[in-house]
């Protein structure tokens, strides 16, 4: 039976997230080429970018603190701060998604 450490699993998850995001960017780019109003696609790209940044930041935060020799209270405070920032960036990505979906709806109603 094969076992992985947290660090190895985090690296594999980050690689998978980056791969899926790149594929989504590619699909959005090809869909966007044939449309006149590109604003909703821009918001979707922003959503993907901020989601990717948030997830990578969160995993890197968890990964990097698993091997530090700091006092536990300092490591916990720093980790909490970085995870809070990752959550904030994720909230920004959700706002981009909402704006993008709304613009898609407006574009669809105008056609």
Q: What does the pLDDT look like over 22-42, one tens digit per residue?
A: 998 888 888 888 878 889 999
Give the angle 42-106-92 at the CA atoms, nearest 5°: 40
pLDDT exceeds cutoff 60 at 1: no
Dist CA 38 CA 96 (whole Å)? 14
Confidence class for position 44, pLDDT limits 50, 70, 90: very high
Dist CA 75 CA 46 (whole Å)? 31
Q: How far is C-alpha 56 from the geometric centre of its chain's CA atoms?
A: 7
């Amino acid at each position: 039976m094969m076992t992985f450490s947290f660090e190895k699993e985090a690296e594999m998850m980050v690689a998978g997230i980056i791969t899926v995001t790149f594929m989504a960017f590619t699909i959005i780019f090809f869909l966007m080429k044939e449309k006149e109003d590109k604003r909703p696609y821009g918001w979707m790209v922003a959503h993907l970018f901020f989601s990717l940044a948030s997830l990578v930041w969160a995993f890197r935060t968890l990964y990097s603190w698993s091997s530090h020799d700091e006092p536990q209270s300092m490591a916990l405070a720093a980790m909490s701060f970085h995870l809070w920032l990752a959550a904030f960036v994720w909230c920004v990505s959700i706002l981009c998604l909402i704006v993008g979906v709304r613009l898609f709806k407006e574009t669809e109603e105008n056609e």
